Structure 1
Amino acid sequence: MSNEYRHVLVAVDLTKDSHKILERALQIADRNHAKLSIIHTLEPLGFAYGGDIPMDLTSIQDQLDEHAKQRLGEIADAHVTKDDQHVVVGMPDTEIHRFAEDNGVDLIVVGSHGRHGFALLLGSTSTGVLHGAQCDVLAVRVGKESEE
């Protein structure tokens, strides 16, 4: 199994479960002597409000971006270089796919809440990442169900 993966991308939502997802990705990257990158995606404020707000949201979006970079650093600094920590703005599954394809990622690690029933197997972001990925995807079970 050694050297099966060369570049592992871990996608996190910056919640407390992000550490668990990163830990699993670290284990795989270490075993394979692979590069490790971490990504967090912010949805543009215009998407959340349908673009109907008659004001410039640029400064708020910039503040959210800076906060996300700070939080990502808190999670990843001990394990991932700053150059390999990425905060991007866009639709999460689309941006994760784009990053993976542009950077030769061959494994994406995401979190899954493990809810019951096939339709709830993965969250919407995890499902989108899984269905559109051109590489392997590992869904790490997180949340209350994973602690039982």
Structure 2
Amino acid sequence: MYEKILIPTDGSDTAEVAVEHALDLAETYGAELHTLYVVDTDSMSLSLGPEQLDRIEQGNWGEMDEVRERAEGATRVVADRGRERGIDVVEHVASGRPHSVIEEYAEDHDVDLVVMGSHGRSGIRRALLGSVTERTLRSTDIPVLVVDAQ
């Protein structure tokens, strides 16, 4: 049923719960697991200049090594746990508007299912879902499994 599963992660506790579901599904279906961390350039635009944002979007992190390390660390955790269970894992770090990047990545890689937490690192909960999750649900035709940490 599922050949490729995408788990966007930001390293938050809610994302961690979603990772467990994605790992279980990938193991059950023998699916390849893709883990994606999106550096939210909209949020970062408040503290960075246009030149810095352009460099990040082109993969030149420069003084933003801490952000890159956090992103790679979050995907590495998923990849390590997947490989321990014999799951093929593809890691990817990108920048942009998170819901747009998630949608584009899923379509470009023929993902069958997106598994994501109900809200992320911000800790600000909307009525039911975090803004990235809500926007992802509205912007893609690919099935999305939303996992709540509560």
Q: TM-score, normalised by structure 1?
A: 0.77
**Which residue pairs with 2:112 in the alignment?**
106
Measured in 2, the distance between the counterparts of 1:132 and 1:41 equals 16
Q: Is the 8 A contact 2:5 2:113 kept in 1?
A: yes
Shift of 1:75: 4.2
Indicate yes or no: 2:62 matched with 1:59.
Answer: yes
Aligned counterpart, 2:96: 90
Identity %: 29
Query: Which deviations, in whole Å up to 9, do the C-alpha atoms of 1:11-56 show, x marking residues without a partner?
Result: 11211333211110111112211111111110127853186x4875
* Structure ID, larger Rg: 1
Question: Taking CA–CA contacts closer than 8 Å with sequence separation of 6 or more, which of the two structures ends up with the larger relative contact order?
Answer: 2
Distance in 2 of aligned mates of 1:55 and 1:39: 24
Alpha-carbon distance in structure 2 between the residues aligned to 1:67 and 1:47 = 14
2 CA distance for matches of 1:101 and 1:54? 28
Q: Which runs of 5+ in 1 are unaligned?
A: 114-118
Paired position in structure 2 for 1:44:
41
1:78 to 78, 81, 102: 81
CA RMSD, 1 decimal: 2.6
